[in-house]
Structure 1
Amino acid sequence: MSRADAAIEATVRRAPLIGALTGIRALAAFWVFLRHFRTEIVDALGPGPFTQFVIHLASAGYLGVDLFFILSGFILTYTHLTTMTSAYTWRTAVGFIWLRLARVWPLTAFVLMLFGAYFIFQALSSGDPSFLAQADPGRLLLHLTLLNGWFPSTLDWNGVDWSVSAEWMAYLTFAVGVVALGRFAAVASRRVMVTVIVLLMLPVLVVGISMQDDTIFLFANDSYVTAAGVLPIRVLGEFWIGAVLCLLLRRYLSETPEPQNVEGVRRMPLATLAAAASVAVLLVVAYHDPLHNMRAGQEEFHNGIDMIAPAESIIVLPLLVLLIACLAICPRDPLSRLLATRPFLLAGRASFAFYLVHPLIIGAGLLAASRLHADSGPPLLAMGIATAAAAWLSAWILWRFIEEPSRKLLRRMLPPSVVV
């Protein structure tokens, strides 16, 4: 690492790294992968109780995105609140926005180009020019400007980058709202902070539960068009839950000596218990759907396995918030220790690249499986494992050679007077 890069990293890491919160990003990204690969999981494992158990957990993988939203608000507050509010100016806000663009835009744009190349490959290999219709230039422009998720639309190009667009919306609110957040931190009691977190959860829970099953807190009823108003409620609510949660846990996150009762809390296996409770709630809701509210025309079963995620699974949101809190303050917890290990830290750093590229790798894996006639059973299971491994390898390459170099380059472009 060059001296300039070392200086950049020292600036970025003013706050001590919370390893478990980096590691859980890998689990969240892989959870989304399982959601998108669940049909192949059924074909590989065959029908049966164990397959149904796996699919109930995989079908709730859309919640991995909600974990990302909460984590984003938490980490940005943890990293930037003090420096941004100590001498806030318009330059601070612009600098923050630039740093967030440096983090997400280069890789998002690069993967979009990979999707364009894949559309061309499909057309050439099949001889069917209709595949080129997927490369709509107007929609590409919206994706490149990170505005594609701001308006109701179908998921095109890289369908998963709607969440990057939604995050961009949250970044813009943080660049301005951090001033109010700093004032709130100075005057609000912990009871008030808990109340605010609960109030921010209510719209998310009410809207999520009221939607139809397997709309995955995204689509309008009876269509695959994103529902108007859902994304601001979902992403802004969860992002600011994470921000206020960080304020609530400040005394646990500080490096100052802690009272005996605080140290006792940090030694408890709270993160492991929160994770186990989250899985239990998801399974109870899946096996005993309290309000079976299917969209018309939606196929529910595949080879006798229920593939649908009940809308009520969003009720796990408070436990996901608790999980993030416990991972942050309980470093001795078994789950925290596991997520802070080197493999999980590396996977967590590459998780954004994994999230963006995994639909493309899944498509390539399924194409290879078809040509190898690995359509079911152990051959498909082997192809699935190979596809997951290829997705992680591709993610590491993209993180190492595209995402990180671009982030560092764009960060160097900030004038030294801008402290974020």
Structure 2
Amino acid sequence: MSRADAAIETTARRAPLIGALTGIRALAAFWVFLRHFRTEIVDALGPGPFTQFVIHLSSAGYLGVDLFFILSGFILTYTHLSTMTRRYSWRTAVGFLWLRLARVWPLTAFVLMLFGAYFIFQALTSGDPSFLAQADPGRLLMHLTLLNGWFPSTLDWNGVDWSVSAEWMAYLTFAVGVVVLARFAAVASRRVMITLIVLLMLPVLVVGISMQDDTIFLFANDSYVTAAGVLPIRVLGEFWIGAVLSLLLRRYLGEASDAPRSNRFRSLPLATVSAVAAVAVLLVVAYNDPLHNMRAGQQEFHQGIDMIAPSESIIVLPFLVLLIASLAICPRDPLSRLLSTRPFLLAGRASFAFYLVHPLVIGAGLLAAAKLHAESGPALVAVGVATAAAAWLCAWVLWRFIEEPSRKLLRRMLPPSVIV
């Protein structure tokens, strides 16, 4: 084994894997998929109370991205805090950012090329050159530099990678803020940490509730242009909530989890209770929207089914934080055990690829449904199941042959002396 490989292996072993936090990524990504497929769910199932129930849960799938933001702050703090601050320097910060680029950029760029190929395919098969207008080179450059989410704009190219751009913003703050975070961890009490988590939640909750319904906490109230300032509040707030939460729970993680004090929590079904509570709150808000605020010209119903996610559904955020915390410290919980199984671990590892590629696969599924005249009923159910399966298959292929090889290659380029 080379010196570089040895350094990689040493770094990889520094923090025990929390399996449930890998598995929950699969659920979060699929929740986003269901949101983007909810119109077809209505067409497949037909109108009725059960369909409305499913759509209320699916339309809140934008919260899957919020789960990712909190998880990101939690895992990066859990993984990197000690190693980065042991001998912190500018090389450490640059090394951290290089590793984060190695994780997200190659696959993001590759999927953007797939979108470009899709635009060209649509133009050739339809004879409509307007599809080529979607392949704007200036906007492609913004996506490739991960700056597309930093400035107000419409969603273009791969519309879901705004969250990758937003996370890159969070990574930049972590590369510098990790020093302050380590100092805070050394002097702050648990009460202070809990207070800080609550304070970080407040701007997210206030801004989220103020947005119009079904804006997925993203667009300005008067347009479909991303709102200036909303993404920093959302992503930075949730990312640093995850970071402080990791500090709060550090005595229950890793080797410290063998302590008698932590064993009291490890045997409780806190994760299952948190998940059930989160679903219950979402349904109560959906069925009793306290401040129904519709965007002008926006269609609310499809076949009599309310398709709008109330902006007040963001109040479930504290329960998402509790869910992540309990998954981390309660491995005996039924939900934690389920999410730690091999299928969920594999799906969790491929979740980033699934998230990036699922809009393309959904588009392909809808084209197939139109060709097969399977636009409602059981036929559309079959197409929907096939589309979800195809999305996971494509995600596994991208993870196995693009994401992981690229990450390992770029990681080997980091000098062995830089331990992050």
TM-score bracket relative to the smaller structure: over 0.9
Question: Which residue of 2 is the match for residue 217 of structure 1?
Answer: 217
The residue aligned with 2:98 is 98
1:255 match: secondary structure: helix
Classify the secondary structure of the residue corresponding to 2:64: helix
Work out whether 1:372 is the aligned partner of 2:368: no
Q: Is the 8 A contact 1:5 1:408 kept in 2?
A: no
SS of equivalent to 1:216 = coil
DSSP-derived class of the 1:214 partner: coil
Q: How does 1:2-401 map to 2 (within 5 A)?
A: 8-256=8-256, 258-401=258-401
Q: Deviations over 1:168-200 (max 9, x none)?
A: 000000000000000000000000000000000
Shift of 1:341: 0.2
Alpha-carbon displacement from aligned partner over 1:105-149 (angstroms, at most 9, x marks no partner): 000000000000000000011011111000000000000000000
Tell me the distance in 2 between the aligned counterparts of 1:179 and 1:45: 52
Q: Quick one: distance in 2 between partners of 1:50 and 1:3?
A: 58
Offset, 1:223: 1.7
| Aligned amino acid, residue 309 of structure 1 | A
SS at match of 1:379: helix
Listed one character per residue, the Cα deviations across residues 29-80 of structure 1 (whole Å, up to 9, x for unaligned) are 0000000000000000000000000000000000000000000000000000
User: Structure 1 pair 16/257, CA: closer, same or farther in 2 (3 Å)?
Assistant: closer
Cα 1:3–1:397, aligned 2, differ >3 Å: closer, same or farther? farther
State the Cα deviation string for residues 260-314 of structure 1 (Å, max 9, x = none): 3431111000000000000000000000001111111110000000000000000
Q: Under a length normalisation based on structure 1, what TM-score does the superposition of the two structures give? A: 0.98
The one-letter amino acid paired with 2:293 is N
Q: CA deviation at 1:256?
A: 3.3
Whether contact under 8 Å (2:266, 2:332) holds in the other structure is: yes
Contact between 1:35 and 1:62, CA under 8 Å: does it hold in 2? yes
Contact kept? 1:60, 1:313, Cα under 8 Å: yes
Give the Cα separation in 2 of the matches to 1:338 and 1:173: 34
Give ranges in structure 1 of 5+ residues lacking alignment.
Answer: none
Q: How many residues align?
A: 420
Contact 2:25 2:351 in 1 (8 A): yes
Q: Give the aligned residue type for 1:47.
A: P
TM-score, length basis structure 2: 0.98
1:41 is matched by which residue type in structure 2? I
User: Are the aligned partners of 2:7 and 2:419 in contact in 1 as well (CA < 8 Å)?
Assistant: no
Deviates more, 1:15-24 or 1:123-132: 123-132
User: Identity over the aligned pairs, expressed in percent?
Assistant: 88
Q: Which runs of 4+ in 1 moved over 6 A?
A: 1-4
**Unaligned regions of 5+ residues in structure 2, if any?**
none
1:350-382 deviation per Cα after TM superposition (whole angstroms, max 9, x unaligned): 000000000000001101110111100000010
